[in-house]
Amino acid sequence: MAASYRRGPLEVADGIWAYLQPDGGWGWSNAGLISGGETSLLVDTLFDLKLTAQMLDDLRRATKSAEAIETVVNTHANGDHCFGNALVAGAEVVASRACAQEMVETPPSRLAELVKAAPQLGELGAFVQRIFGSFSFEGIEVVPPTRTFEGGLQLTVGDRRVDLVEVGPAHTRGDTLVHLPDDGVVFTGDILFHGGHPIVWAGPVSRWIDACDTILHWDAQTIVPGHGPMATPAALEAFKGYFEWLTRESTARFEAGMPASEAALDIDLGPYREWSDPERMAVNVRSIYRELGSDERGDAVGLLGAMAAWETANRGRARAT
C-alpha cells in the first residue's frame, strides 16, 4: 500500500472524520462522518453488518455526532459501500439514481452463495475465498436509497455545505463524490484507490480520468479515498497517470491484435508493480478494449474468473523465472 495506517476514525478537519480500514484491498473500504452540531451525515457503510456496527461504535466513541446520523450517502453501489445501510435506522439514504438502480443487481445473498460454494469452484473458488472470505454476507437486507438525484445535489449538515457530484459511469455506473468546499475535503468513494490497482467495473476510463480532473480542479488538500490511506492531490495525479498509462499500453496491444487476456499479462506493471491487487488488470484491460470496440463482455462471476486466471498465470510465470 501507499503507506501504513491504522483502522478507525481519524479527524481530518474540524468535525469531519474519515473511517479507514487497512489494508484497503478487496472489501476493506473507507467511510466518513460529517458533523453539523446536532446532526451528522455518514458517507458510506461497510461490507457486512459486523464491520458496520464496529464502525458506528468507533465513531460514537470518537464523537457524539454518531448518535444523530440523519443522512447516509452511498457513493456507489458496491456492497462494501452500502451493505451496512440497515444499521443506520431512520436515516435518509441518498445516492445517484444510477447507483440506486445498480444496487439491487448483486444482492448479498448472491455473494453468500458464492463464498459457500467456493470449495467446489477450483481456481475461481480459491480466489473468491481469498478476497471475500473475511466477510459475512448472511442476513443482510440492502436498504436502498430513499432519495436519488442526477448530476448533483447540495445538502446541508447543520451549517455545513456538502456537495454531491455524480461522476459515473466510471468505477461503477453511479459514482458520486462528496465535496465540502468550505472545508477543503473530498470523500472520493472508489474514484480513488490509494496504493492499489483500481477496478473498472463500468468505465469508460476516459470518464474516470475526467473525475480525477474534477477533484484536482477543486484544489482540496484533504482527500479521503474509497480504499487506502489518506491522500493528497499528488496521489490523485499519480492515480490519474495510471489510467493514462494503462490506456496507452492496452491500445497498443489492441491494435496489434492481442486478446485482452494476453494483453493483461503482457503489460509490464512498471511503476505500479508495488500496488496491491494487480489481478484487476484482467478486468481493466478488458474494459479499455471494450472502449476501443471489442465485444468482450462478462458478468461479475466471469470477471472474477478472469482475475483468478490472471493471478494463477502470473504466479506460474514468476516461478518459471
Tell me the pTM.
0.95
pLDDT at 67: 61
**Are the C-beta atoms of residues 202 and 168 closer than 8 Å to each other?**
yes
CATH-assigned architecture of domain 8-320: 4-Layer Sandwich (3.60)
**Are the C-beta atoms of residues 57 and 40 closer than 8 Å to each other?**
no
pLDDT at 1: 43
- Confidence check: pLDDT of 321 > 60: no
Query: How far is it, in rounded angstroms, from Cα 202 to Cα 293?
Result: 15
**Are the C-beta atoms of residues 57 and 45 closer than 8 Å to each other?**
no
Query: How far is it, in rounded angstroms, from Cα 190 to Cα 202?
Result: 12
**Are the C-beta atoms of residues 308 and 124 closer than 8 Å to each other?**
yes
Summary mean pLDDT of the chain = 94
CB neighbours of residue 103 within 10 Å: 26
* DSSP H/E element including 287: helix 281-291
- Asked if the peptide bond before residue 23 counts as cis, ω within 30 degrees of 0, the response is yes
pLDDT in tens, 67-106: 689 999 999 999 999 999 999 989 999 999 999 999 999 8
pLDDT at 316: 64
pLDDT band of residue 317 (cuts 50, 70, 90) is low
**Are the C-beta atoms of residues 215 and 181 closer than 8 Å to each other?**
no
- What integer is the mean pLDDT of 122-129? 97
Q: Which of the pair, 63 or 279, is modelled with greater confidence?
A: 279
**Strand positions, DSSP E, the chain:** 8-13, 16-20, 31-35, 40-43, 69-73, 92-96, 147-149, 152-157, 160-166, 176-180, 185-187, 222-224
All structural domains of the chain with their residue ranges: 8-320
pLDDT at 315: 78
Q: Which three cell numbers stand for residue 137?
A: 454476507
pLDDT at 281: 98
DSSP assignment, residue 113?
A: H
Query: How far is it, in rounded angstroms, from Cα 146 to Cα 223?
Result: 27
pLDDT at 63: 85
pLDDT at 295: 82
pLDDT in tens, 12-69: 999 999 999 999 999 999 999 999 888 999 999 999 999 999 999 999 998 865 568 9
Q: What percent of the chain has pLDDT over 90?
A: 90
**Are the C-beta atoms of residues 212 and 236 closer than 8 Å to each other?**
yes
Radius of gyration in angstroms for the set of CA atoms belonging to the chain, rounded to a whole number: 19
**Are the C-beta atoms of residues 58 and 67 closer than 8 Å to each other?**
no
* Three-class secondary structure of residue 193 per DSSP: strand
Q: Which three cell numbers stand for residue 186?
A: 473530498
